[in-house]
Structures are given as C-alpha cells and as structure tokens.
C-alpha cells in the first residue's frame, strides 16, 4: 500500500525546497513563514472560498497602493504587526523614550528649519502650539546636533500628501538641536483623525466592528550619530481615542498635556549597539 502524505510531510517537502546555501537568512524567513501559514490554515480549517477571499483581499490591497498611498503598511499597522516590529527592533532601555509606529505618511526631504519656526506653511487655522523639549542621552547629558524630523496632520485632519489643496511639506520640518540639546517648534495642536478607510483595510475594519481613529499626535524621528534612531509620537492627553488607537501605537509615557498653547516633550536616546 502506498504511504499517504500527511500535512507534516507536505510542509517538510516545501521547506526543503528552499536551498539555504543560496541565501540563508531569506530561507530562514521563508521556512518560518510557510510553517506559520500552514498552521494558520490548519487551525482555522480554511475553506477554498475563504482562501480565495483572502487572495482577493490582498490583490485589492496591492491595487490600492501608489506613490503616496501604501495600503500594505496600513494593513500591517491595523493588524499590530508594525508596532510589533518596532517593539522588537527599537527596544528602548529603561530610561530611553518609548518608540511607536512610523506610519505611512512620512515624506523624506522636509525643509530644514531654524529653531522656533513654524511647520504650518499656510494659514495656521488650528490652535497654536509650541512644542519644546531637550534631547538627552541615557545619562542625562544634553545632545547637540540631534536632528528632529517632525510631521503631523493639518487642522483639517489630513496629511499634506492626502490633500490636493495643501502646500507641499505643510506641517513637516527638520530641526537640529544646539549645544543645550533644546528644541522649540511652532505648530498647530494636532487633531484626532481617521486613517484612510476607502480601501480594503477600511472594509476589514468595518466588517469587524473596529474604529479607524488615531488619537491626536505629532510624529518625531530623532537621529544623531552614535545613537539609535528614535521613531515616536507625542500624543495629546485630551484625545478621546487614546485607548482605541486603530494602529495600537499609544504608550502611556508618550501622552502629554497640550493645553494652554505649550507642550513639553523631552526625549532620551540610547547609544547604538556597535
Ligand atoms: C500615522 O500616524 O500617520 C498613521 C499610522 C498608521 C496608519 C495610518 C496613519
Ligand atoms: Fe500620524
């Protein structure tokens, strides 16, 4: 009698088809991905129709992507995978600032700005806000030449790249700390906003009873030679969506008071491992 091939035999055969002599890291990742995908299919007893729905969903996700819209990042964000990758890759020391998601709306090449200037490039029609703080190392020493790339939504709840009427680089700017590590940035108080819901990710959220709100925040990416890049946000303590962020990015240490036109956001960087 011929031996029946089990699902375990099938997995082993597929895993063995990848040659680790060619590219060991890629093969490690693919073998693991295949193992977990098979476990998922078996655990959920996925039907052929459900598998096809998944294929169609991923196809639509790819078709929604263009130069400024990245639906796959949005999918990763809303499934919490982006935050998991940041948690594992940016693991901060006890004193360093907590990281959070990068998000799909970062645009490289924002203008370098003088300390204290405004990232609102046209009609600052929101509630004026001055962000200030000091960038330090883990011992408390102020860090000169830390570069802060800052971005946020406009008061209408849209990033510049989502709004055909927006000036380029509206609510984006790059600042560099002086010898005292201090920074000061003029902006408008960030507002709560909806992540894009006009694509397959929005359909997934609606079909599962989830909200698409992100609590009001300003993004910071802080770089400094010799230190780990910090990707984080400052969240507004008054937002009603802090406990239901669509992308699971809120950390208590990042919630700050933005009332009265000022917000203090001190930042601590970890040195690089090398
Ligand atoms: C953002 O904060 O820009 C963002 C993050 C994840 C998904 C959508 C937007
Ligand atoms: Fe954002």
pLDDT computed for residue 262 by the predictor: 97
DSSP string, 190-250: ---EEPP-SSHHHHHHHHTT---EE-SEEEEEEE-TTB--EEEEEEETT-TTTTS-TT---
Inter-residue contact 258 to 237 (CB < 8 Å): yes
pLDDT computed for residue 263 by the predictor: 98
Between CA 34 and CA 178 the distance in angstroms is 50
Between CA 106 and CA 222 the distance in angstroms is 13
**pLDDT confidence band for 39 (50 / 70 / 90):** very high
Name residues contacting ligand 1 (CB within 6 A): 74, 77, 101, 103-105, 195, 214, 247
**pLDDT confidence band for 2 (50 / 70 / 90):** confident
Select from 188, 52, 69 the least CA-distant residue to 118. Answer: 188
Average pLDDT (76-96) is 93
Tell me the CA–centroid distance for residue 101 and ligand 1, in Å: 8
pLDDT computed for residue 273 by the predictor: 80
Average pLDDT (117-123) is 87
Inter-residue contact 136 to 181 (CB < 8 Å): yes
pTM higher than 0.75 for the full model?
A: yes
Between CA 227 and CA 97 the distance in angstroms is 13
pLDDT computed for residue 69 by the predictor: 87
**pLDDT confidence band for 274 (50 / 70 / 90):** low
Of 104, 198, 231, which is best to mutate to test ligand 1, by the most ligand atoms within 8 angstroms of its C-beta? Answer: 104
pLDDT over 90 at 1, yes or no: no
Ligand nearest to the CA of 218: 2
Tell me the CA–centroid distance for residue 105 and ligand 1, in Å: 7
pLDDT computed for residue 67 by the predictor: 83
Q: Hey, whose CA ends up nearest to atom 4 of ligand 1?
A: 103
Residues 6+ apart with CB under 8 A from 240: 192, 215
183-217 burial code (b ≥16 CB/10 A, e <16): bebbbbbbbbbebbeebbbbebbeeeeeebbbbbb
Residues 6+ apart with CB under 8 A from 177: 115, 134, 135, 142, 143, 144, 145, 146, 148, 183
Of 102, 212, 247, 254, which is best to mutate to test ligand 1, by the most ligand atoms within 8 angstroms of its C-beta? Answer: 247
Of 65, 68, 75, 77, which is best to mutate to test ligand 1, by the most ligand atoms within 8 angstroms of its C-beta? Answer: 77
Kindly report, residue by residue over 141-198, the tens digit of the pLDDT: 999 999 999 999 999 999 999 999 999 999 999 999 999 999 999 999 999 999 999 9
Select from 254, 124, 99, 97 the least CA-distant residue to 189. Answer: 124
Between CA 166 and CA 236 the distance in angstroms is 24
Q: Hey, whose CA ends up nearest to atom 6 of ligand 1?
A: 103
pLDDT computed for residue 152 by the predictor: 97
Select from 106, 112, 141, 111 the least CA-distant residue to 227. Answer: 141
For the CA of 102, the closest atom of ligand 1 is: 5
Between CA 162 and CA 158 the distance in angstroms is 6
Average pLDDT (69-75) is 93
Average pLDDT (252-257) is 98
pLDDT over 90 at 256, yes or no: yes
Tell me the CA–centroid distance for residue 176 and ligand 1, in Å: 24
pLDDT over 90 at 123, yes or no: no
Q: Hey, whose CA ends up nearest to atom 3 of ligand 1?
A: 103
Q: Hey, whose CA ends up nearest to atom 9 of ligand 1?
A: 103
């Amino acid at each position: 009698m011929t031996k029946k091939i089990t699902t375990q035999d099938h997995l082993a055969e597929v895993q063995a088809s990848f040659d680790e002599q060619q590219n060991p890291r890629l093969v490690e990742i693919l073998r693991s991905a295949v193992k977990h995908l098979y476990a998922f299919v078996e655990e959920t007893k996925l039907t052929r129709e459900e598998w096809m729905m998944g294929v169609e969903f991923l196809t639509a996700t790819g078709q929604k992507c263009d130069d400024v819209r990245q639906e796959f990042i949005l999918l990763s964000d809303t499934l919490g995978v982006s935050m998991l990758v940041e948690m594992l890759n940016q693991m901060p020391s006890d004193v360093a600032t907590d990281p959070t998601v990068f998000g799909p709306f970062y645009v490289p090449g924002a203008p370098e700005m003088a300390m204290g200037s405004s990232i609102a490039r046209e009609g600052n029609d929101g509630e004026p806000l001055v962000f200030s703080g000091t960038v330090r190392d883990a011992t408390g020493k102020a860090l000169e030449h830390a570069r802060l790339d800052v971005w946020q939504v406009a008061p209408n709840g849209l990033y510049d790249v989502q709004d055909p009427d927006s000036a380029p680089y509206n609510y984006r700017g790059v600042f560099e700390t002086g010898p005292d590590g201090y920074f000061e940035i003029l902006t408008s108080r960030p507002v709560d906003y909806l992540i894009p819901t006009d694509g397959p990710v929005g359909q997934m959220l609606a079909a599962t009873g989830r909200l698409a709100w992100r609590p009001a925040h300003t993004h910071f990416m802080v770089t400094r030679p010799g230190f780990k890049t910090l990707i984080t946000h400052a969240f507004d303590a008054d937002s009603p969506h802090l406990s239901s962020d669509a992308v699971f990015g809120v950390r208590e240490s990042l919630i700050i008071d933005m009332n009265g036109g000022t917000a203090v956001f001190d930042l601590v960087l970890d040195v690089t491992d090398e």
